[in-house]
Amino acid sequence: MKHLLTCMSLFAAILSKSVATDGLRLNAMKSNQDEPILLEWSAEPSNDYLVLHSDDLIIWKNSISGKVYGPDQEERIHWSDTNLNLGSNDPERLKRRFFRVARSPSDIEASETAYTFVSASGEAVDAFRGSFRVPENRTDPNSRELELFYVRFPSTSQTPGSPIVHLAGGPGNSSVEDLRREELFEPFMELREFGDVIAFDQRGTGWSNDLPSFQGTPLPLAQPLTLEAIETQLAEDAENAKAFWEQSGVDISGYNPLEIARDLDDLRRALGAEKLSLWAGSHGSHFALAAIREMPGKIDRVALHGIVGTEQMKLPDWYESYLDRLQAAIDTQPAAAAAFPDFRDLMRRTHAKFDAEPMELCFDSSGETICFVVGKLDLQLWALATNFNPEDAANLMTFYRLAESGNLAPFAPFIYEALRKNGLPFRGMREGIYSMSGISDTRRSQIIEQSDSSTIDGQLNFPFDIYIDVFDLPDLGNAFRAKVITDVPTISFSGTLDARTHPEAADEALTGFSNLRRVTVRNGGHFDYFSDPTIRQVTMDFFRGQEVPAEVTLPLPSFPE
């Protein structure tokens, strides 16, 4: 790779020649995440653009937005396609990237008012409700503004550390509402020992959500679900949803992990904090990874659970490994092992049966008889939609035993409500996140290759893998999906019986973390990281800077016999 500059002193000298960029330094502009790219840059006369030059077009193919920092203010630079003197096909333009300078004051003004936070169990605690404003799309100088909200729980310490920000998953869940739940409320109140605790509703969620929803079209009930029918309908619904949001003044491309990371940086400044600590789970960990890379030197400590990497799409083989671990757990209970000697084989047999002969299910609802036909895909999607923790797996075992025997009537109302009653809802935030985080060509090929031998035919990412194609939003690129390299102190929890976010995803996502405490939670599921007292103690020890164990074991539920 050709570098126009090879040392920081020469780089600084070139910067000092430009009045517009005097005293600033390029902080993040990488094509290979292991190797920072130093590029010559200068200010264009009579406009507010910086120009970065390179003969190496691979840099530009893989580049993502960067940042420059000044001594008294923080400035952000983003690639822009507008107001350029060179034509789009001019060879010289291909060697440049033009960045609009969006200046931000060092302090974001936040508005806070006293607020009484009441948990789901009725416990009240004094807090502050705050908000600050950000652009919906920072690459658009004419972007509308969003008001983002948070709840701040003041630290109980006389010498508090960095604020601890909770990032909810989903994507689309509200952190404020999540923290009302008892299993989250209690441990996060304990974390006030280390600093202010912040329940931050990300853009498009909870109090920070002003996005109108769009309801998709349900598929006919007289036929079982098929992937072809879903993709056709989803493509039509996506076009209608995009038009609906555009008419509503919404820029759906502003809902992506990089913008959320920049929101976090603005939240940091709004709080007057030098650094933030993060507690993030499920897809919240996807946002945390983006923030770690986008906020160098601004992240103190990180706690992750149920990790979703920057390469967000899951591999079918990970689900097969989960089924292996589930069977090993079943085998520890003799009666359950006798009833389910090979649960994967039961699933495959039942799928084949419903594929050959779809079944009509009927049930009464308020005096009306509702009938619909279920097939193999209905069963596979039900298995994915309802299985998160070991207790869910126990219910799923009963489900497949009844399905094989042809007795799914007890589940009919629930399957109808979850899969068949309505079309897919479009909320805006999650569609933007999945579409713009995207998928690499390598990962797409792996999923296709592994789907043939998959128990669920590779539907592990449904319907989000389809979003990438049907919404056709700008892809953040392979530079975003590359591994994150950091020495930020981090603890990660991975449950061996988590059916949604698998330990293999954490193995892949955290390879660049040099200061990592990895905790395997034996028999842990997707939501077992809050209520268990042992895990809570491990988390507190991590924030105290103490050693933590490499493994924690949780009790198994009783599997059906």
Return all residues near 38 (Cβ < 8 A) that are at least 6 apart.
3, 4, 5, 6, 8, 11, 26
**What rounded mean pLDDT belongs to the chain?**
84
Rounded Cα gap, residues 72 and 360, in angstroms:
68
25: Cα separation from own chain's centroid:
30
Q: What is the pLDDT of residue 108?
A: 74
DSSP secondary-structure letter at 417?
I
Please give the average per-residue pLDDT across 337-353, as a whole number. Answer: 98
State the pairing for strand pair 276-281/214-215: unpaired
Residue 5 has pLDDT above 50, yes or no: no
Provide the whole-model pTM: 0.84
Residue 29 has pLDDT above 70, yes or no: no
**What confidence tens digit (pLDDT) does each residue in 201-215 have?**
999 999 999 999 999
Q: What is the pLDDT of residue 360?
A: 97
Residue 78 has pLDDT above 50, yes or no: no
For the chain, first and last CA: distance in Å? 62
DSSP string, 186-223: HHHHHGGGTS-EEEE--TTSGGG--PPPEEPPPPPTTS
Inter-helix orientation angle 390-404/376-386, to 10°: 160
At 96, the pLDDT band (50, 70, 90 cuts) reads low
**What confidence tens digit (pLDDT) does each residue in 515-561 have?**
999 999 999 999 877 778 899 999 999 999 999 999 999 999 999 99
H-helix or E-strand spanning residue 152? strand 145-153
**What confidence tens digit (pLDDT) does each residue in 140-197 have?**
888 999 999 999 999 999 999 999 999 999 999 999 999 999 889 999 999 999 999 9
Cα–Cα distances in angstroms (integers) from residue 65 to residues 27, 97, 189, 237, 480, in the given order: 11, 10, 36, 31, 10
Rounded Cα gap, residues 414 and 449, in angstroms:
33
**What confidence tens digit (pLDDT) does each residue in 237-293 have?**
999 999 999 999 999 999 999 999 999 999 999 999 999 999 999 999 999 999 999
Residue type, 369: T
Q: What is the pLDDT of residue 455?
A: 96
At 57, the pLDDT band (50, 70, 90 cuts) reads low
At 107, the pLDDT band (50, 70, 90 cuts) reads low
Residue 349 has pLDDT above 80, yes or no: yes
DSSP string, 340-387: -S-HHHHHHHHHHHHHHS-EEEEEEETTEEEEEEE-HHHHHHHHHHH-
Asked whether 533 and 502 are in contact (CB, 8 A), the reply is no
At 92, the pLDDT band (50, 70, 90 cuts) reads low
Please give the average per-residue pLDDT across 134-141, as a whole number. Answer: 87
Phi (first) and psi of residue 349, to 5 degrees: -60, -45
Inter-helix orientation angle 533-543/182-190, to 10°: 30
Please give the average per-residue pLDDT across 474-489, as a whole number. Answer: 92
Residue 454 has pLDDT above 50, yes or no: yes
DSSP secondary-structure letter at 411?
G
- Mapping DSSP to helix (H, G, I), strand (E, B) and coil, where does residue 164 land? strand
Residue 462 or 76, more confident: 462
- Mapping DSSP to helix (H, G, I), strand (E, B) and coil, where does residue 395 land? helix
Q: What is the pLDDT of residue 291?
A: 96
Residue 40 has pLDDT above 50, yes or no: no
Q: What is the pLDDT of residue 102?
A: 46
Please give the average per-residue pLDDT across 376-382, as a whole number. Answer: 96
Return all residues near 445 (Cβ < 8 A) that are at least 6 apart.
none
